[in-house]
Chains A and B, each alone.
Chain A
């Protein structure tokens, strides 16, 4: 991971083999509250991402941001791995759950939105 940084911007070159586009986008989505995020493909095997602070650029501690970014990339890669590996089983669970329509006799609350009522006297 190559890093280029000045006071205003953090640029990171990312190996596209390790972090595919879907992982990058899901991860960087959560940076879009405080940073202007840019992702471009710099070569066939590399993405370049840049983060520019939307507000108070002078207060950004880039070392912390970089550490968090590295951690988040790994987290989102893990998430993607789980999502990909379990996609079929997830679809199967949902399909099986709804395929036979059979109304369930769940515990029905006495009132639709039981919030606010005495928990010791209203069944929720």
Chain B
């Protein structure tokens, strides 16, 4: 039998001597778990709190039929693993049910504090003309496309009302630095309000760095502001994705990263990849570029549904298959760098691995149940509109206001966060209760994404068999588990990604 040492607790749980089980008249009772076929010879079982065990094909049937017999030498190890990892219990009510309940609660503890990430779309203006971007505006009309001061004030007031003692204020665009004075205003105002409301605020600015000045860097430094930029790979990919008239966007971002690093330190700046059709043909080159620039992580973000996914099932299936192929090739390259001694982590895998291999939840909006929208994130648009997530506001740019929660300065906190809209949405935000997901073994590693469902399928509930979100996550999760099971060296690398230690 092959097992994954999945649980950090498996060595520490209270464990009884083997004779205890052998003496039991009723061998065992089932605890809630789900299973998935991994490969022709293997299946995986995952329990209610996300612990997993890889077992030979057909074993689930034997477990359910009550055939795992601790008297048989060949079953002893499996029996012990099943007990230790809460798949079966020798008593109808497991003695450690309190532990199970506590761990379940811990997995959902991201709900405890409610909304943390507050995105301020400080300006819709941008000096780039990226072909895939349907949102930004190349214009100098500040009045129309920059966030007004009274909207900024109202957004800060809402952020201060969040029950969360630790909030993040993230500035996005367009190109956020085009409205640098508004950012300065917002940060200064928030500092005063945070003091009054006893809140810890983390500031993040998302920028392409093209307009970076020394004065800006100094302001970031003085206020501990983190910079999140976009780097799509080597120049031939980045510049094609991000067209900037009369300039090399790639050169500007690389120089900007370097300048930020010098003043803010390595940890002060991060970069994200936007995957486009061109990127899909160059997985290795993209990873190589991140390594060349000294990054220790790369986030192979799935393609946004706004560029690719349409309501055509055939096309989506094709695009998802291409993305998965890209992802696996890039992941192989990343693993190889690690094997060769250079620590670099892939962030999407790390989010999933953390959910698999630790008892803790992960603050990543797209892979949560209940969904991250509203619970974790809210977006204040440049025009004062409030949306349930970043994708929701992009949808609004296409005149779909399904996820608009209200307007800054007009609606109260209660109306926005506890109103009818959110209450309706909450019914489709829990993957434990969604068709298809409810029986899925990967439920606790995956999430619910009603915005994606609505955008790609015209339905908040969504149809899992044709969902690109489902197909992509199911395959990535399956692939990660199988990779760990087949190669212990790779498992070790994956574990190092969670701890951040090579």
User: A residues bordering B, Cβ < 8 Å?
Assistant: 26, 29-33, 55, 74-76, 78-79, 81-83, 85-86, 89-90, 92-94, 96-98, 103-104, 106-122, 124
Q: Are B117 and A112 in contact (CB under 8 A)?
A: yes
CA distance A76 to B314 in the complex (A): 27
Residues on the B chain within 8 Å of A121, using CB: 265-267
Among A26, A30, A111, the one with the most B-chain Cβ atoms within 10 Å of its Cβ is: A111
> B381 to chain A: which residues have CB within 8 Å?
none
> Does B350 lie within 8 Å of A119, measured CB to CB?
yes
Contact A116 B30 (CB under 8 A): no
B41 to chain A, nearest CB (A): 14
User: How many angstroms from the CA of A81 to the CA of B66 in the assembled complex?
Assistant: 12
Residues of B within 8 A of A81 (CB): 64
Counting CB contacts under 8 A, is B85 at the interface? no
Whether B465 lies near A114 (C-beta < 8 A) is no
Query: Measured between alpha carbons, how far is A85 from B363 in the docked complex, in Å?
Result: 33
Interface of B is mostly: mixed
B33 interfacial contact with A, CB 8 Å = yes
A89 touches B31 (CB 8 A): yes
Determine whether the beta carbon of A115 is less than 8 Å from that of B347: yes
- List residues of chain A with CB within 8 A of the CB of B401: none
Are B313 and A33 in contact, CB atoms less than 8 angstroms apart? Answer: yes
Closest to A96 in B: B101
Residues of B within 8 A of A (CB): 29-35, 37, 48, 60-61, 64, 93-94, 97-98, 100-102, 104-106, 108-109, 112-113, 116-117, 166-168, 202, 204, 226, 228, 265-267, 270-272, 295-297, 299, 313-314, 343, 345, 347, 350-351, 354, 360-365, 376-377, 435-436, 439, 463-466, 497, 500-501
- Give A120 to B345 CA distance when docked, in angstroms: 10
Contact present for A93 and B101 (CB under 8 Å): yes
Given contacts A97-B101, A115-B347, contact A29 B363 (CB under 8 A): no
Contacting residues, chain B, for A113 (C-beta < 8 A)? 117, 168, 363-365, 376-377
**B250 CB → nearest A CB, Å:** 18
User: Is B112 in contact with A104, judged by CB distance below 8 angstroms?
Assistant: yes
From B48, B98, B106, contact of A104 by CB (8 A): B106
Q: Is there contact, CB below 8 Å, between B48 and A93?
A: yes
A32 and B469 CA atoms in complex are apart in Å by 17
Is B500 touching A120 in the complex (CB atoms < 8 A)? yes
Contact across chains for A90 and B32 when beta carbons are under 8 A apart: yes
User: B233 → chain A, closest Cβ, in Å?
Assistant: 15
Residues of B within 8 Å of A75, CB to CB, are 35, 37
Q: Is the CB of A30 within 8 A of B108?
A: no
* Chain A positions within 8 Å of B436 at CB level: 29-30
Q: Which residues of B contact A122 (CB under 8 A)?
A: 267
- In whole Å, how far is A78's beta carbon from the nearest beta carbon of chain B? 5
**CA–CA, A121 and B267, complex, Å:** 6
Please tell me which one of the listed residues B94, B104, B435, B439 contacts residue A94 in the complex, with CB atoms under 8 A apart.
Answer: B104
Query: Can you list 15 A-B contacts (CB < 8 A)?
Result: A30-B436, A33-B463, A81-B64, A93-B101, A104-B105, A106-B106, A112-B363, A112-B376, A113-B365, A113-B377, A115-B364, A117-B270, A118-B295, A118-B296, A119-B296
In Å, the complex CA distance between A69 and B465 comes to 15
A98→B202 CA distance, assembly (Å): 29
Q: Which residue of B has the minimal Cβ distance to A110?
A: B202
Interchain CB contact under 8 A, A96 and B297:
no
Q: Which residue in chain A gives the minimum CB-CB distance to B166? A: A108
Q: Which residues on B sit within 8 Å (CB–CB) of A96?
A: 97-98, 101
Please measure, in the bound complex, the distance between the C-alpha atom of A20 and the C-alpha atom of B266, giving whole angstroms. 59
**In the assembled complex, which residues on chain B have CB atoms less than 8 Å from the CB atom of A33?**
313, 463, 465-466
Q: With contacts A29-B465, A89-B32 known, is A116 near B272, CB below 8 A?
A: yes
**Cα distance A82–B272 when bound, in Å?**
41
Known A-B contacts A79-B35, A116-B299; A107 and B267 likewise in contact (beta carbons under 8 Å): no
Are A76 and B439 in contact (CB-based, < 8 A)? yes
Cβ contacts under 8 Å, B347 to chain A: 115-116
Q: Which residues of B contact A109 (CB under 8 A)?
A: 363
A97 to B37, CA, bound (A): 30
Instruction: Tell whether, in the assembled complex, residue A114 and residue B363 are in contact, meaning their CB atoms are under 8 Å apart.
Output: yes
In the bound assembly, the distance between CA atoms of A114 and B347 in angstroms comes to 9
In the bound complex, CA of A97 to CA of B436 (Å): 25
Q: Please give, as numbers and ranges, the residues of chain A lying within 8 Å of B376 by CB-CB distance.
A: 112-113
Please state if A55 and B314 are interface contacts (CB–CB under 8 Å). yes
Residues on A with C-beta less than 8 A from B106 are: 104, 106
Give complex CA distance A29, B295 in Å: 43
**B226 near A115: Cβ-Cβ < 8 Å:** no
A112 touches B32 (CB 8 A): no
Choice from B33, B34, B435 contacting A29 with Cβ under 8 Å? B435
The reply to whether A93 and B100 contact each other, CB–CB distance below 8 Å, is yes
Which of these, A31, A107, A111, A116, contacts B297 with CB under 8 Å? A116
